[in-house]
Amino acid sequence: MASKKNHDPSACARYEKATELLGKRWTGMLVRTLLDGPRRYGELAAASDISDRVLSERLKELETEGLLARSVDPGPPVRVSYALTKKGEGLWKVVEEIGKWADRWLDGERES
């Protein structure tokens, strides 16, 4: 079946993994925000109406995926901040192209 198609199954699997990662709610927002530089937890929380539980979960996931790094300044006061890793920064072009497409096609939902 798949062998009839001129494609690379491992590339497809990587692609699926990448889109699933990017497609999780708030991932895009967090990556976009952090592309401007590191942010403290409170700043990320203030940037949207995302709940603390969901924000913490999503940050943890992105850290596990190696997209961002968490650092703790022992203070006082203790300050937790997040920055993109090289892998996370590598998404800037993807983020830009998604933004362009969304501006073109999802603004007022023009259909072709």
Residues forming contacts to a second copy in the complex (CB under 8 A) are 1-2, 4-5, 7, 10-12, 14-29, 32-33, 46-49, 66, 85-88, 90-91, 93-94, 96-107, 109-112
Residue 70, helix vs strand vs coil: strand
Q: What is the distance between the alpha carbons of residues 16 and 34, in angstroms, rounded to a whole number? A: 23
Q: What is the distance between the alpha carbons of residues 96 and 94, in angstroms, rounded to a whole number? A: 5
CB of 72 to a second copy, least distance (A): 19
CB of 76 to a second copy, least distance (A): 24
Nearer residue to a second copy within complex by CB, 42 or 56:
42
Residue written as tokens 């999780």? 24
Nearer residue to a second copy within complex by CB, 74 or 104:
104
Nearer residue to a second copy within complex by CB, 71 or 74:
71
Alpha carbon dihedral 99, 103, 106, 110, in 10-degree steps, equals -150
